[in-house]
């Protein structure tokens, strides 16, 4: 990738920055959170920004008897566990063949040391009834835990530099950014190969942007959105390498080889050792306590 890639231009192919300042207009097309790590997500009209990313994102996680996190990589049926957020802020989850389960705002069980990738963090155990609900659905003994407050799990300083980016149970960065045009380009290539289109749900982004060319997020440095409470600035720091999860149909939990095989043909990224990437991991530079909303306009500055 060059320092300034054509994909980072607006979708019409023209540079449309204010006074040629090297920025491009963007619009928030969708906002998503994933309250339980590796389970289905929620689409929101508006979200508040916490120090760890979008409010409610990856606050909960399922663990095995070794206190290791569970994901769709080994448990594809997790894709069928669907959360809903009530107006009162109460989280309810459903799954095929199971009645709805309400989760408390704050878990009050014992404190456990759990592992998410290479990080060991503290978590509060959920209710035993919740453990039984998830265990029955997945067919093995699991526990539900919530990220314990008062601790800081940070993204890799190799990618974030001076920004100390906090996370809960995410894979390592607080916000994942993907453009609408990236999915459109992938579906175009899938159609050329005789394959069915896929939805954005396969890629589990938090922030979906319109107004960029295909994979235009790859070439952006920062995103800025002005709110009535002040600016929100996000820095795009690392391409997101892809595991097999996008090959799992989120509606059926069935695995295949697409879109992974098609992505492998054009999405190798030297910045992460040639891994197949889709989307950019971002950190919060400013804006904690502020908000973002679907339809909101902003600007993306290009990485030179």
Peptide bond into 103 cis (omega under 30): no
Q: Is residue 224 part of a domain?
A: yes
Number of Cβ atoms within 10 Å of the Cβ of 150: 5
Q: Is residue 292 part of a domain?
A: yes
Q: Is residue 268 part of a domain?
A: yes
Where do the H-state alpha helices sit in the chain?
128-138, 157-160, 180-192, 260-264
Confidence of residue 58 (pLDDT cuts 50, 70, 90): very high
Residues 214-273: tens digit of each pLDDT: 999 999 999 999 999 999 999 999 999 999 999 999 999 999 999 999 999 999 999 999
| Tally of domains in the chain | 1
Q: Is residue 119 part of a domain?
A: yes
Phi first, then psi: give them for residue 127, nearest 5 degrees.
-75, 140
Half-sphere exposure for 303 (CA within 13 Å, toward CB): 19
Q: Is residue 274 part of a domain?
A: yes
Give the list of residues 6+ apart from residue 132 with CB closer than 8 angstroms, or none: none
Domain interval for residue 133? 6-302
Confidence of residue 19 (pLDDT cuts 50, 70, 90): very low
Residues 132-169: tens digit of each pLDDT: 999 999 999 999 999 999 999 999 999 999 999 999 99
CATH number, domain of 238, equals 2.40.33.20
Taking 60 as the threshold, does the pLDDT of residue 17 lie above it?
no
Q: Is residue 1 part of a domain?
A: no
Q: Is residue 74 part of a domain?
A: yes
Q: Is residue 234 part of a domain?
A: yes
Give dist(CA 38, CA 244) in Å, integer: 12
Question: Across-strand partners of 210?
Answer: 27
């Amino acid at each position: 990738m060059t320092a300034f890639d054509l994909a980072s231009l607006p979708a019409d192919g023209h540079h449309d920055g204010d006074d040629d300042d090297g920025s491009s207009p963007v619009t928030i097309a969708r906002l998503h959170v994933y309250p339980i790590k590796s389970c289905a997500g929620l689409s929101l009209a508006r979200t508040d920004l916490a120090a760890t990313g979008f409010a409610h994102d990856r606050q909960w996680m399922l663990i095995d008897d070794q206190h290791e996190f569970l994901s769709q990589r080994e448990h594809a049926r997790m894709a069928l566990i669907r959360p809903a957020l009530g107006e009162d802020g109460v989280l309810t989850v459903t799954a095929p063949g199971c009645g709805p389960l309400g989760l408390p705002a704050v878990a009050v069980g014992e404190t456990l040391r759990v592992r998410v990738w290479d990080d060991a963090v503290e978590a509060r155990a959920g209710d035993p009834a919740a453990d039984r609900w998830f265990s029955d659905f997945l067919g093995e003994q699991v526990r539900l835990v919530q990220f314990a407050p008062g601790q800081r799990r940070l993204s890799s300083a190799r990618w974030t530099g001076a920004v100390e980016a906090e996370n809960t149970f995410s894979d390592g960065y607080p916000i994942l950014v993907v453009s609408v045009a990236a999915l459109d380009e992938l579906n175009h290539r899938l159609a050329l190969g005789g394959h069915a289109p896929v939805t954005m749900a396969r890629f589990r982004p938090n922030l979906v942007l319109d107004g960029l060319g295909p994979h235009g997020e790859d070439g952006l440095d920062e995103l800025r959105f002005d709110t009535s409470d002040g600016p929100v600035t996000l820095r795009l720091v690392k391409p997101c390498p892809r595991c097999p999860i996008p090959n799992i149909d989120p509606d059926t939990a069935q695995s295949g080889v697409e879109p992974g095989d098609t992505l492998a043909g054009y999405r190798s990224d030297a910045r992460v050792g040639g891994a197949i990437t889709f989307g950019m991991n971002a950190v919060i530079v400013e804006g904690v306590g502020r908000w973002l909303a679907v339809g909101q306009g902003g600007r993306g500055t290009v990485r030179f």
